[in-house]
């Protein structure tokens, strides 16, 4: 875990996202996702060169967009990553963590300009990263279901290719919104 866990600019919100607090603007694809991927939480062509820079960027973006505490997010991401790599293979990673004092899952998508080492099962470097942060006191089965659905979606070669070639954020959001029913990310109770 890097030593600079607490080196973050002051939160524009001044508080953590808590129960009943809206964590950011609506996203284009929210109806098909119980987690929110909004335009401001999509970073294309990031210059992150390693996991440390990538996680720092993810925590900073989640703070900027959803007003979550970046130090808490960063520690949670590293804690999970140290338990085992969140790389899926095929150049994809799905870092995820449970964080206190948020009331719904939130997400960020980061596409790196150059692939980075991520200890993937296929040893392939990673260039597409979907970060999912879920409530610490949420249903663990729901968390696992979200991860399974995200993994299913990102395992589709045509989805990965479209995300890698997406020219802009609007296209990325459209790719998630157009996910076929068999790979859409939905809640365990079937709600969309």
Would you write out the chain's pLDDT as a tens digit for each of its 192 residues? 443 333 333 334 533 333 333 434 444 333 445 566 889 999 999 999 999 999 999 999 999 999 999 999 999 999 999 999 999 999 999 999 999 988 889 999 999 999 999 999 999 999 999 999 999 999 888 888 889 989 998 999 999 999 999 999 999 999 988 876 443 343 333 333
Catalytic: 56?
no
Phi then psi dihedrals of residue 171, to 5 deg: -65, -40
All structural domains of the chain: 30-179 (3.40.930.10)
Helix (H/G/I), strand (E/B), else coil: 44: strand
Q: How would DSSP label each residue in 82-134?
A: HHS--EEETTEE--EEEETT-SS-EEEEEEEEEEE----TT---EEEEEEEEE
- Among the listed residues 96, 143, 145, 158, the single catalytic one is 96
Residue 37: the pLDDT is 80
Residue 95: the pLDDT is 97
């Amino acid at each position: 875990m890097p030593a600079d866990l607490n080196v973050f600019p002051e939160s524009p919100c001044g508080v953590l996202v808590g129960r009943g607090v809206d964590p950011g603007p609506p996203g284009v694809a929210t109806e098909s996702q119980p987690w929110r991927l909004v335009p401001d939480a999509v970073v294309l062509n990031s210059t992150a060169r390693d996991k440390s820079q990538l996680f720092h960027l993810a925590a900073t973006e989640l703070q900027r967009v959803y007003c979550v505490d970046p130090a808490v997010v960063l520690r949670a991401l590293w804690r999970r990553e140290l338990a085992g790599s969140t790389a899926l293979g095929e150049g994809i990673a799905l870092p995820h963590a449970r964080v206190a004092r948020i009331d719904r899952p939130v997400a960020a998508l980061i596409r790196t300009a150059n692939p980075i080492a991520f200890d993937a099962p296929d040893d392939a470097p990673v260039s597409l990263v979907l970060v999912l942060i879920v409530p610490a006191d949420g249903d663990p089965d729901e968390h696992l279901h979200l991860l399974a659905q995200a993994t299913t979606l990102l395992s589709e070669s045509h989805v990965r290719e479209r995300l890698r070639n997406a020219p802009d954020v609007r296209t990325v959001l459209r790719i998630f919104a157009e996910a076929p029913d068999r790979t859409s990310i939905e809640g365990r109770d079937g709600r969309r």
